[in-house]
């Protein structure tokens, strides 16, 4: 079972993938466990950047660069502005200690990881021909998006409008 | 591969959905453009009008000569979809009707948005009912979920509403992530997002990737279990139901749940349950786990309902138990001897729709007159409002009566629990 893992790590491309995914997971863990909001956003940006790196190593350059531009760039900056413009009281709230709860969570997480690891290691996946040509994948994404997937694409626009209206409704201050 | 295109003539099949979108945009623009002093109740009537028109268009699509599909099953009209769409639209229409005029009392400031946001939510549900492609199904699911998060958060001054909305958005986000993880395994195995293509790919390579297929199945089951509030994935339901404005609670209990069942039925049936996988171990195990989920929901929902004092929480647990009953037609074998699974499912869903919206409407009236939503609000109803007590009785007696005989005894236990609490409440 483990020799597959060793074989996986002996190739250079896979090593890059491994490093990027490790950084992404670390960023996510820091994001949850840090207490200052600005630090959390920085950890989130780290995760976004390494996800972009993973996309690029997988040959999806367009998605990779969009990830860097939109998530690591725009969304992170927007969050930092949001934090700077709102008031924050910096006191760290102490959570009640629940040793039993944490222990059970740990057991659950380990069991879930074990199942996933075992299943993925035991599967033999026959590599399939790539559905899109790695060259010009931006063109092909565009063509698919506006032909075969135009219905979900249009519904996404409704979804974004609703999210926009909803964000305003929830965040607006009532003056009464 | 020839590129698939959406022709202009295909738009006629999308008319019910387009009606909802156009009405929602119109209501949003009017809401923006009209001066502040104009009452926002026109929004409710416009929403109702849009829903009624959409119901007419959907009814025209009933019983097509053969199922219409657009863009490689990305959108699909068959009777499964049309009937579920009618259920969703009628449910949404009744909820909007029920909330007419209650918005101001419920301390909701954004009345216009409150009404027209029901339209995109119903649209999401309709998309979930009428697609055979994982991407479209997921986008519809997210449209419904995100709109519901906003609707739950509408009572902004109430702490309970805020707490409910926050729990709903966090747990809903996690369940969406679990569904996506399961879907990504299916895509990785089959190389397609089309449900039928996945089904045939699974039949071809089931032995190589057995573990992954089971993993995908259980991830999807857990994720959909959250969406339909089946035990043990039900913990969000009571808090969210209690926090939300009552009409929104009715919407979550009926329309959201119905749409969740639509997607569950479609995915389980087309991918795991039938066609090329008929009679395999995978199909048997899938049906067995659905039955186990159904059994746990029925037992947990009914048992925990006995301990509730708040009527909304009580109805939330009744919704959990009903999710168990609704799972039964999906979990039973589809074979020559028994092939009416869908009719049974739809029959029960329609009964559930009217019964539950009726119950919530009664709760709204009692809540208005007694000022709280505890069970003791029902005490002395006979003396306060002669003639009115029959109505909850009607809705709760319609409950067992409208069911098939098969699950009569199960339903009795649940409505018995309700009646018993009612009588305890009145005796106090």
Q: With an 8 Å Cβ cutoff, is A171 touching chain B?
A: no
pLDDT tens, residue by residue, B362-385: 888 888 877 777 777 777 777 776
Does A118 reside within a domain?
A: no
Number of structural domains chain A divides into: 2
Q: Which residues of B touch A165 (CB under 8 A)?
A: 28, 113, 117, 150
Between chain A and chain B, how many beta carbons pairs sit less than 8 Å apart?
104
pLDDT exceeds 60 at position B394: no
Of A128, A150, A162, which is closest to B146 when you measure between CB atoms? A162
Whole-angstrom distance, CA of residue B140 vs CA of residue B154 = 22
- Whole-number pLDDT of residue B11: 82
- Report yes or no on A95 lying in a domain: no
Residues A148, B28: C-beta atoms closer than 8 Å: no
Q: Is A163 on the interface with B (CB under 8 A)?
A: yes
> Chain A within 8 Å of B30 (Cβ-Cβ)?
no
Of A102-106, B160-164, B398-402, least confident by mean pLDDT is: B398-402
Chain segment B105-136, per-residue pLDDT in tens: 667 778 888 888 999 999 999 999 988 899 99
The model carries a pTM of 0.87
**Looking at the partner chain, which of A125, A150, A165 has a beta carbon nearest the beta carbon of B209?**
A125
More confident residue, A25 or B414: A25
The pLDDT, as a whole number, for residue B321 is 93
DSSP H helices, chain A, are 2-9, 12-33, 37-57, 61-66, 76-85, 99-122, 137-146, 150-171
Residue A57 in domain: yes
Confidence bin at B255 (pLDDT 50/70/90)? very high
Confidence category of residue B408, pLDDT binned at 50, 70, 90: very low
Place of tokens 């479209």: B136
Do A149 and A80 sit in the same domain of this protein?
no
Question: What pLDDT score was predicted for residue B402?
Answer: 40
Adjacent-strand bridge partners of B76: B69
Asked if B279 is an interface residue toward chain A (Cβ–Cβ < 8 A), one would say no
pLDDT-based confidence at residue B416 (cuts at 50, 70, 90): very low
pLDDT of residue B417: 45
B188 interfaces chain A, CB cutoff of 8 Å: yes
Closest A-chain CA to B28: A165
Residue (of B190, B178, B346) closest to B276 by Cα position: B190
Residue of B nearest to A174 (CA): B109
| Residue B150 at interface with chain A, using a CB cutoff of 8 Å | yes
B164-199 pLDDT tens trace: 999 999 999 999 999 999 999 998 888 888 888 888
Note the pLDDT of residue A49.
93
A150: chain B residues, CB-CB within 8 Å: 6, 71
pLDDT digits (tens, 9 = 90+) for B210-240: 888 889 999 999 999 999 998 889 889 999 9
Which range is least confidently modeled, B126-140, B195-209, B403-417? B403-417
Contacts of B103 in chain A (CB under 8 A): none
- For the cut 70, the answer to whether the pLDDT of residue B396 exceeds it is no
Does the residue A94 lie in any domain? no
Chain B residues within an 8 Å CB radius of A161 = 28, 120
Contact B6/A155, CB-based, under 8 Å?
A: no
The predicted structure's pLDDT at residue B1? 45
pLDDT of residue B20: 92
How high is the pLDDT of residue B412?
40
Where is the domain boundary, A86, A101, A116? A86
Judge whether A155 is closer than 8 Å to chain B, CB to CB: yes
| Domain interval for residue A28 | 7-86
By Cβ distance, the residue of B3, B120, B211 closest to A158 is B120
Residue of A162, A164, A167, A170 best to disrupt the B interface, most CBs of B under 10 A: A162
Considering only CB atoms, A149 lies closest to which of B135, B140, B189, namely: B135
Average pLDDT of chain B? 82
What span, in angstroms and rounded, lies between the C-alpha atoms of B252 and A31?
32
pLDDT of residue B410: 43
DSSP for residue A172: P
Contact between A165 and B154 using a beta-carbon 8 Å cutoff: no
| A77 min Cα distance to partner chain B (Å) | 23
Contacts of A172 in chain B (CB under 8 A): 110
Which of B5, B147, B205 is closest, CB to CB, to A162?
Answer: B147
Return the minimum-mean-pLDDT range out of A42-51, B42-51, B90-99, B199-208: B199-208
Instruction: Determine the average pLDDT of the residues in B327-346.
Output: 77
Query: Does residue A97 lie within any of the structural domains?
Result: no
Interface test with A, best of B18, B120, B205 (most A CBs within 10 A): B120
Q: Please check whether residue B187 touches A, CB under 8 A.
A: no
Local confidence pLDDT in tens for the 176 residues of chain A? 566 677 777 777 888 988 999 999 999 999 888 888 888 889 999 999 999 999 988 888 888 999 999 988 898 888 888 888 877 665 556 667 778 888 899 999 999 999 998 888 887 766 665 555 667 778 888 888 888 888 899 999 999 999 999 998 888 877 65
Residue A121 lies in a domain: no
- 8 Å CB contact of A119 and B212: yes
Which of 35-94 (B) contact A at CB < 8 A? 70-72, 74-75
Q: Tell whether A1 lies on the interface with B, counting CB pairs under 8 A.
A: no
**Span B5-34, average pLDDT:** 87
Q: What is the pLDDT of residue B280?
A: 75
3-state secondary structure of A13: helix
> What percent of chain B is predicted at pLDDT more than 90?
37
Q: Choose among A90, A69, A89: nearest CA to A78.
A: A69
Assigned domain for A168 exists: yes
- Mean pLDDT comparison of B54-68, B105-119, B349-363, B414-428, highest-scoring range: B349-363
Cβ neighbours of A152 in B, within 8 Å: 74, 133, 135-136, 139
Residue B149 contacts A where some CB pair is shorter than 8 Å: yes
pLDDT of residue A37: 83
Contacts of A123 in chain B (CB under 8 A): 208-209, 211-212
The torsion of the CA quartet B70, B72, B78, B81, rounded to 10 degrees, works out to: -90
Whether the pLDDT of residue B34 is over 60: the answer is yes
Check if B163 contacts A (Cβ < 8 Å). Answer: no
Does residue B331 belong to the interface with chain A, where contact is any CB pair within 8 Å? no
Q: Of A71, A86, A101, which residue sits at a domain end?
A: A86
pLDDT at B357 over 50: yes
| Residue A170 belongs to some domain of the structure | yes
What's the pLDDT tens digit per position in A97-130? 778 888 899 999 999 999 998 888 887 766 665 5
Closest CA–CA distance from residue A156 to any residue of chain B (Å): 7
Residues A18 and A77 in one domain: yes
């Amino acid at each position: 079972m483990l020799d597959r893992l060793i074989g996986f790590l002996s190739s250079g491309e896979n090593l890059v993938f491994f490093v990027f995914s490790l950084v992404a997971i670390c960023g996510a863990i820091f994001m949850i466990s840090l207490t200052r909001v600005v630090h959390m956003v920085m950890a989130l940006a780290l995760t976004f950047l390494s996800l972009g790196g993973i996309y690029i190593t997988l040959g999806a350059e367009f998605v990779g660069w969009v990830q860097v531009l939109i998530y690591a760039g725009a969304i992170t900056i927007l969050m930092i502005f949001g934090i700077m413009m709102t008031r924050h009281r910096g006191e760290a709230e102490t959570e009640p200690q629940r040793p039993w709860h944490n222990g059970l969570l740990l057991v659950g997480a380990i069991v879930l990881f074990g199942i996933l690891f075992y299943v993925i290691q035991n599967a033999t996946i026959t590599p399939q021909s790539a559905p899109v040509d790695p060259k010009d994948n931006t063109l092909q994404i565009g063509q698919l998006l506006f032909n075969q997937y135009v219905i979900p694409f249009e519904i996404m626009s409704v979804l974004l409008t609703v999210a926009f209206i909803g964000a305003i409704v929830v965040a607006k201050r009532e003056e009464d | 591969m020839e590129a698939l295109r959406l022709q202009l003539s295909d738009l006629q099949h999308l008319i019910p959905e387009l009606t909802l979108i156009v009405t929602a945009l119109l209501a949003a623009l009017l809401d923006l453009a009209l001066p502040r002093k104009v009452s926002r109740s026109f929004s409710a009537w416009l929403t109702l009008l849009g829903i009624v028109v959409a119901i007419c268009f959907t009814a025209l699509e009933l019983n097509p000569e053969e199922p219409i599909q657009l863009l490689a099953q990305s959108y699909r009209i068959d009777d499964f979809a049309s009937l579920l769409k009618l259920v969703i639209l009628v449910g949404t229409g009744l909820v909007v009707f029920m909330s007419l005029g209650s918005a101001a009392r419920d301390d909701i400031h954004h009345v216009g948005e409150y009404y027209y946001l029901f339209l995109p939510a119903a649209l999401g549900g309709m998309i979930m009912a009428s697609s055979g492609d994982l991407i479209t199904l997921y986008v519809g699911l997210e449209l419904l979920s995100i709109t519901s998060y906003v609707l739950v958060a509408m009572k902004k001054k109430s702490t309970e509403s805020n707490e409910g909305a926050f729990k709903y958005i966090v747990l809903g986000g996690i369940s969406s992530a679990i569904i996506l993880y399961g879907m990504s395994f299916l895509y990785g195995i089959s190389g397609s997002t089309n449900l039928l293509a996945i089904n045939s790919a699974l039949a071809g390579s089931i032995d190589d990737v057995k573990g992954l297929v089971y993993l995908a199945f259980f991830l999807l089951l857990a994720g959909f279990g959250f969406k339909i509030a089946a035990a043990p994935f039900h913990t969000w339901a009571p808090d969210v139901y209690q926090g939300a404005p009552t009409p929104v609670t009715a919407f979550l209990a009926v329309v959201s749940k119905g749409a969740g069942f639509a997607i569950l039925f479609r995915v389980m049936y087309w991918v795991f349950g039938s066609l090329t996988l008929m009679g395999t171990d995978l199909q048997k195990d899938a049906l067995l786990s659905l039955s186990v989920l159904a059994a746990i929901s029925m037992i947990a929902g009914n048992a925990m309902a006995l301990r509730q004092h708040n009527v909304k929480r009580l109805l939330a647990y009744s919704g959990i138990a009903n999710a168990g009953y609704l799972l039964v037609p999906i979990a039973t074998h589809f074979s020559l001897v028994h092939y009416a699974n869908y009719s049974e499912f739809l029959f029960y869903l329609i009964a559930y729709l009217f019964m539950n919206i009726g119950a919530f409407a009664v709760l709204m009236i009692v809540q208005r007159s007694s000022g709280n939503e505890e069970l003791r609000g029902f005490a002395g109803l006979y003396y306060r409002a002669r003639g009115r007590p029959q109505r909850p009785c009607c809705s709760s007696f319609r409950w067992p009566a409208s069911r098939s005989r098969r699950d009569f005894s199960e339903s009795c236990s649940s409505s018995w629990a309700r009646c018993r609490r009612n009588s305890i409440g009145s005796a106090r």
